[in-house]
Chain A
């Protein structure tokens, strides 16, 4: 039975440390007015017998995909990359992806890891790779991570031990493969005037006004024009065939996705001045009306 008087003992800083039950009530020492979330000093003592807590958590980490670990330029080039955003990379945990290495590769993994560490990156694990590489990585103390895409939490959690129903089963940290540098979308809110050119490098481009004839929009990603598109729009500029172009009113001079283009004359009257999306279907530039409203 909870002993309200005992709460005074627990209202110091110590009371807050026990978080399995009680929460703020335990800390502030309110006697359980609604009958829950108060902890008696007796049960608090019992909890402290288990000196740890197991719970699941997920962490996003950078993956360093290794193509040619013996290349003499490897670390010079990696250093250049790291120096582009020093704060971002400093002490960043990183998983080494060896999936692309050929079976026959031979290299000093210990020295390789040491060089990664010298750039203030912290290798914590590895993925894939030929057998010999994996063994070497284990020996060096790197954690084997599940290969490929992010593992779903449900797949990895083992059935809980029936003897300890409250205990959460240990969960391997699911990882997410992320691009080392994420560039924010380029957003333009003023009309894009004739002769102006906007290039959204490695990202999408959004224009919330109109685009004049003689203006040029270029994006490695998608292009969205929430207005009239009267100039040129070239999406997937660096070759991404999945890129699309969206606009409220199609009056473009030239449309292109990953180099596949169409000029104004060849845009049918079905699509002229309509809300349209433009994309590649089987390698051919295609258009669909956007359903609005």
Chain B
């Protein structure tokens, strides 16, 4: 490959809205940084930005992604260094403009510049299959498809896979295809057992891509975003642990999937009222 060797562009996408892309982008980027990789996470949801909130840096945003695209600011003026984690940076987006402000040349220029100093570039895609989503996935080397175990989300994830296979740069130029992995989020093993939610196998049968991880439904996620801390930093929560496993698998480690079966609630844990 011709680009800077270690730089990898990952898109966190789904098609469907509200399934956990931003939560996962924040957690994943943090996870990679914790492993020592210099990582930047970019918010592509122009006009509806959330990444800065979830990362806890919303009060430090001066310049943003669109300013850089328009040449109104330099990249290092817009990049925000995370206060907690070494190696972790955020590129927030504009709240006052919208996705029409994104241009392919502009995005390419920013990604090329970031490639020079970062090991991983994570693109937090907005929902949908229009301009914002297309811009975020166009330059990707890897795609993580965030899906909830329910029919609408699976249908939309299937759609976005089709879009990745036909409208990414790699597809258009006949290069090696974008690698695709499934991140199944908000998984509730008890509801699956009751038949209210799709099983992992059902989703895999329809989407037919490798499974990166299963993130259990967790109250810790809401708590974490309320305080502006990526949930992977909550070492007690199952969701945080599951994200950590997923990062490991992405980096090639062989980690068994946990939190997939209903946990037997013994008397002791019920007494302690362990939160998920």
Q: Choose, from B61-69, B98-106, B162-170, the stretch at the interface.
A: B162-170
Cα distance, A196 to B164, chains bound together (Å)? 11
Interface membership of A270, Cβ < 8 A:
no
Complex contact A191–B208 (CB within 8 A): yes
Is B155 touching A196 in the complex (CB atoms < 8 A)?
no
B4 at the interface (CB under 8 A from A): no
Chain B 24-42 per-residue mask, 1 if CB under 8 angstroms from chain A, else 0? 0000000000000000000
Number of interface residues of A (CB under 8 A): 13
Interface SS of chain B: helix
Number of interface residues of B (CB under 8 A): 12
B142 at the interface (CB under 8 A from A): no
C-alpha spacing A213/B206, complex, angstroms: 9
9 A-B pairs closest in CB distance? A193-B162, A194-B158, A194-B159, A196-B162, A212-B158, A195-B159, A193-B161, A195-B162, A193-B158
B208 and A214 contact, CB distance less than 8 A = no
C-alpha gap A213/B155 in the complex (Å): 8
B208 close to A194 (CB less than 8 A): no
Contact A214 B165 (CB under 8 A): no
Q: Most chain-A Cβ atoms within 10 A of its Cβ — which of B158, B166, B208?
A: B158
28 contacts between A and B (CB under 8 A): A190-B165, A191-B161, A192-B162, A193-B159, A193-B161, A193-B162, A193-B163, A193-B165, A194-B155, A194-B156, A194-B158, A195-B129, A195-B159, A195-B163, A196-B162, A196-B165, A196-B166, A209-B208, A210-B208, A212-B155, A212-B158, A212-B162, A212-B206, A213-B155, A213-B158, A214-B155, A214-B159, A215-B162
Within the complex, what minimum Cβ distance (angstroms) separates A69 from chain B?
45
| Contacts of B120-168 to chain A: CB distance below 8 A | 129, 155-156, 158-159, 161-163, 165-166
Q: What's the Cα separation between A55 and B206 when bound, in Å? A: 60
A191–B163 alpha-carbon span in the complex (Å):
13
- Residue of B158, B163, B166 near A214 (CB, 8 A) is B158
Main secondary structure of the interface of A (DSSP, over half): loop
Q: Closest approach, in angstroms, between the C-beta of B177 and any C-beta of chain A?
A: 9
A191: B residues at CB distance < 8 A:
161, 208
Note all chain A residues with C-beta closer than 8 A to B159: 193-195, 214
Cα separation A215 to B163 with both chains bound (whole Å): 12
**CB interface residues, A 181-201, toward B, < 8 Å:** 190-196
Chain A proximity of B108: nearest CB distance (Å): 26
Q: How far is the CB of A252 from chain B (nearest CB, A)?
A: 15
Residues of B within 8 A of A210 (CB): 208
Report Cα–Cα, A210/B158, bound state, in Å. Answer: 12
Residues of A contacting B129 with CB < 8 Å? 195
| A212–B151 alpha-carbon span in the complex (Å) | 12
Residues from chain A with Cβ under 8 Å of B156 in the complex: 194
A residues in contact with B161, CB < 8 Å: 191, 193
Residues of chain A contacted by B162 (CB below 8 angstroms): 192-196, 212, 215
C-alpha gap A214/B208 in the complex (Å): 16
What residue of chain A has the Cβ atom nearest to residue B163's Cβ?
A195
Which residues of chain A are near B155, meaning CB under 8 Å? Answer: 194, 212-214
Task: State in angstroms the CA–CA spacing of A139 and B129 once bound together.
Answer: 68
Q: Which of A191, A194, A209, A210 gathers the greatest number of chain B CB atoms within 10 Å?
A: A194
Contacting residues of chain A (204-224) with chain B, CB-CB under 8 angstroms: 209-210, 212-215
Of all chain A residues, which has the CB nearest B161? A193
Complex CA distance for A118 and B137, rounded to whole angstroms: 53
In the complex, per-residue mask of B43-79: 1 if CB is within 8 Å of any chain A CB, else 0: 0000000000000000000000000000000000000
Instruction: Enumerate chain B residues within 8 angstroms of A190, measured Cβ to Cβ.
Output: 165
Shortest beta-carbon distance, B228 to chain A, in Å?
Answer: 35
Interfacial chain B residues near A209, Cβ < 8 Å: 208
Beta-carbon nearest neighbor of A192 in chain B = B162
Q: Which of B201-231 contact A (CB under 8 A)?
A: 206, 208
Q: How far is the CA of A212 from the CA of B161 in the complex (A)?
A: 11
> B107 to nearest A CB, angstroms?
23
Known: A191-B161, A193-B161. 5 other contacts (CB 8 A): A192-B162, A194-B156, A195-B129, A196-B162, A212-B155
A193–B155 Cα gap in the complex (Å)?
9
Nearest-neighbor residue (CB-CB) of B177 within chain A? A190
CB proximity to A under 8 Å, residues B160-185: 161-163, 165-166
Which residues of the other chain, B, contact A214 by a CB distance below 8 angstroms?
Answer: 155, 158-159
Shortest CB distance A206–B (Å): 18
Write the chain B residue with the least CB distance to A196.
B162
Cβ of A207 to closest chain B Cβ, rounded Å: 13
Q: How far is the CB of A231 from chain B (nearest CB, A)?
A: 10
Closest Cβ of chain B: how far from A229's Cβ, in Å?
13
With both chains docked as a complex, state the minimum distance between the C-beta of B62 and any C-beta of chain A, in angstroms. Answer: 39
A194 to B206, CA, bound (A): 11
- List, in ascending order, chain B residues with CB within 8 A of A212's CB: 155, 158, 162, 206
Say how far B230's CB is from chain A's closest CB, in angstroms: 31
